[in-house]
Structures are given as C-alpha cells and as structure tokens.
C-alpha cells in the first residue's frame, strides 16, 4: 500500500506516513508524501526519533522528522524504478545531497553521531551519510581467510554495537563480520555448513 504504519506501545496501529495506494517519491508533510516501497526498502530510526527510509527503487535516502516532515537527504533521484543504468560508472558517487549517487540502497542503521550507514547492494559497499547529507564510502580490508576470497563476499544486513563497531552479514557464505580499526574480521559462521547451528565462531552456522 506504499505507506508506513506506526505500532504504539498500547498496540494501536496507525498510518504514519504516505498516501494509501499511491506510489511515488514526493517530499513534504507525512500526510502528502509518497513512497515506492519494494522488497529492498528498509527503515531505521535514530536517537532523536528521525526515521530514515532507503528507497531501493529511486536510489535515494529519505528522512522523516518527529514533526512529520519528509525530505530527501541524499542521492540523485532516478526518474523511475528502472535500473538499466546501474552499470554506468556515473551510477555511483560520493558527495552532498543530490550530488551523491547510490546504486541499490538497502539495509541501514544509525550510529551515535546521527550518521546513517547503508548497504549499497549493487556496489557491494557501505555508504555513510552524515546529518548534513554528505555521503562517503567506508573503506576496510579483510583479515586473512584461507577458506574464501573476499571477492566472493556480498553484503547483507548491518548492525552496530555501543562502541561503534559495524557488523555485516555475508549473504553468499553465511558469515558475520565486525569492522574494527579498518579491518573486517569474521566473528561467526561456517561457509561449508549453511544452517542454524549454535556454537562459537566458526562452529556456528547461519542460513544466508
């Protein structure tokens, strides 16, 4: 239905943002704003109750303030959900606001500084967006992994701990990594045994 619902602590469900059944990418008051949600779209909220939406379809990051105002924080808006131009080098780029370009923005989190970190699925990268809409790309190296080349790893979901360390899942091998001091270290998962086995580190396994 292209809307965001809000579930209150008392169990009351209400329409929070969007126009029921209307697809689009219009900013403005939550009652008039439109969204184009697909299976790749995600939500995240920061400590100031700002809600962020990754628009997988139009390749932008949108923000909803507690006052109920929707704006496009970063990304050059695609005119439609067509993604035929994704292979072009110009499809990606850091910068501020509409100067930045995303491929397919997906999973996202917020950190203690109010920055948004999101997975650019097509670029297989993590992009950081600060409160002013400045986009940069996280850089890291992988710790040695004799069993797999980092070229075969594909970013899935993100998480962050109180110390600011970023975690991401690998959708091809079922690993979980932690980025610490610029190095991605495998903390759990077993590529040769996809499943739901509990254990420590490599003894545990996950479905992709």
**Residues forming a β-bridge with 134:** 96
The 3-state DSSP class for residue 38 equals coil
pTM for the complete prediction? 0.89
pLDDT tens-place values along the chain, 208 residues long: 999 999 999 999 999 999 999 999 999 999 999 999 888 889 999 999 999 999 988 899 999 999 999 999 999 988 766 655 555 556 689 999 999 999 889 899 999 999 999 999 888 999 999 999 999 999 999 998 877 777 778 999 999 999 999 999 998 878 999 998 899 999 998 877 767 889 999 888 887 6
Can you read off the two tokens belonging to residue 96? 């501020």
Q: What phi, psi does 197 have (nearest 5°)?
A: -90, 130
Closest C-alpha among 121, 84, 79 to residue 103: 121
Q: What pLDDT score was predicted for residue 128?
A: 97
Closest C-alpha among 76, 48, 81, 75 to residue 61: 75
Q: What phi, psi does 86 have (nearest 5°)?
A: -65, -25
Can you read off the two tokens belonging to residue 115? 């920055």
Say which DSSP state 101 is in.
B
Q: What pLDDT score was predicted for residue 80?
A: 67
């Amino acid at each position: 239905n292209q809307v965001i619902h809000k579930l209150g602590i008392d169990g009351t469900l209400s329409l929070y943002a969007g126009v029921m059944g209307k697809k689009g990418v219009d900013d403005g008051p939550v009652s008039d704003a439109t969204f184009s949600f697909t299976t790749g779209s995600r939500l995240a909220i920061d400590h100031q109750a700002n809600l962020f939406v990754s628009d997988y379809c139009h390749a932008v990051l949108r923000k909803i303030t507690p006052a109920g105002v929707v704006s496009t924080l970063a990304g050059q808006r695609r005119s439609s959900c067509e993604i035929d131009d994704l292979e072009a080098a110009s499809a990606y780029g850091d910068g501020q606001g509409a100067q930045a370009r995303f491929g397919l923005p997906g999973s996202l989190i917020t950190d203690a500084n109010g920055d948004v970190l999101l997975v650019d699925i097509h670029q297989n990268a993590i992009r950081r967006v600060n409160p002013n809409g400045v986009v940069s790309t996280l850089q890291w190296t992988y710790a040695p992994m004799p069993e797999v080349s980092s070229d075969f790893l594909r970013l899935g979901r993100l998480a962050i701990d109180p110390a600011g360390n970023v975690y991401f899942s690998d959708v091809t091998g079922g690993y979980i990594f932690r980025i610490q001091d610029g190095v991605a270290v495998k903390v759990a998962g077993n590529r040769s045994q996809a499943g739901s086995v509990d254990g420590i580190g490599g003894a545990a396994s996950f479905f992709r």
